Structure 1
Amino acid sequence: MVSPRDLLLADGRTLRVHDSADAHTPADAFTVLWHHGSPQTGALLEPLVVAAAARGIRLLAYGRPSYGGSTGQRGRTVASAADDVAQLADQLGLDRFAVMGASGGGPHALACAALLPERVLATACLASLAPLQADGFDWFDGMASDGESLRAALLGSAAREEYELTAEFDSKSFVDRDYAALAGTWASLESDVGLASAAGTEGLVDDDLAFVLPWGFSVSDIVTPVLYAQGGRDRVVPPAHATWLLQNTPEAELWLRPRDGHIAVLDASAVAMDWLREHSADF
């Protein structure tokens, strides 16, 4: 795996990119671009790297604005990710690729699928939020702490920043399988969250503000295959979000893992990579 590199974007910002490719990686390797959760640095997590290497997949990731060395972008929307990814792909010489995202990365992966149909072959989202404006279900129902951080974001950036000053983690956000995952396979995720949190809260606040505003695209416009994986016991992103996404994304399927919570569902990542390759028909 090569060292992270900073790409210069058209507006002068930098985007920090992580790449599993090395000198032995074929130029035509199947490529998956990972969209990280909130908050994380964008660095490649060990279980993802291992799963990708076992499948001969080139795995890329980047820090969204204000995360992991990437320049901030106040006022960004979920759709803004597609423009950043298009510039990333241009600079790295990528023609077509799959995208994958977990938790807060899910909506940003969907943005790429909707807005870059000529480049994104297939998409996999694990524990992804649905748009707040979605009809037919209570968006906050079932969220730990009643979704306090997202409710604060609805009141604007000042309210969301003020909330963060006294915010504390609700231990009920995770179930037993989540804690087991963080103590085992996904220990690198917990470490990465700690690094991202220590660097400041701007990225997390901007993510939440983007989630509660209109995303800038509709999942109904996605024309390529989408996989949703959802834990049935998720208290961060409740299962109703995945159900709505399934019903409103034309070429979608849902893997419901009834006993998993928000972290344990990440164990589906490896087989989701297999699904992405299978459904990237044009590759």
Structure 2
Amino acid sequence: MKKNKVQGFIFLIPMLVIIGTFYGMIIWNFIIAFTGWQVLLPTWKFVGLENFYRLFELRRFWINIKNNFLWLIFFIAPTSFVGFVLAYLFTNLKRGEHLLRQVFLFPMALSFVINGTLWAWMYDPSSGLINSILRSIGVNTLGLGWIALPNTAIYCMIFSAFWQYMGFALVIYLGAIRGLSSAMVEAAAMDGASKFTILFRIIFPNVGHATLICTTMLAITTMKVFDLVWIMTQGGPGVSTEVLPYLMYRLTFSSRDIGMGAATSIVILIFSAMIVIPYSLWALKKWVIT
């Protein structure tokens, strides 16, 4: 028995090391956030909340906050809505569903780096696919430098992420809709309800759990988007497309201000917790307590 316990503990060591390292780095990050440590300085000292004060005084920080909220609004809602509508349409397909599902899921197999490179080329003002199509149909006035203009760059970037994650929302809702009782939908149809009414008055309210899961996962994605920004615009023009993870990178590795970079990561952690905790409480209540 004792030998079995020792063997079991040995097998647990790799996982314990991983978990310990993960939480250890979080604790270390909290410590660094309250210090004035910079890479080029041999010493560092406790500065309290000074890093947070300096961070909140940056105009760039508030632009990043605004951009993150733009991501939350213009990425989550359209992706969830289109995924829901597509899932409903898929349930009524007689043939070709498997092929179409693979087509919509294919972008999810791409990394943000590949996706960003692809869309950066498509948005290119001179040789990009979008402007080439516009020129071919004689609409030269719309041939913009899509990601070179402050007013359009972030929305173009959000659209590229929407294209990539649309299939994710589709799969979540498809599973939820197929889990509903067909008798409920058939009864509504027999009562004369239109397809629009069935979709938004009957099906949608009954897949609320899928909506919560989908929006939560998409919101977490918006709080950690970095590589798409780096590949497509590097935060430009100016800082018009910067988001908090990109600001954290710049403060840490470009400015070499480790303390402010750590403070930024704590802000990201707080926002992420505000997203995850409500979902966790709902999941605990639904699947554990009940």
TM-score (norm 1): 0.23
Please tell me whether Structure 1 or Structure 2 has the larger radius of gyration of its CA atoms.
2
Greater helix share, 1 or 2? 2
Higher relative contact order (CA 8 A, sep 6+): 2
Greater strand share, 1 or 2? 1
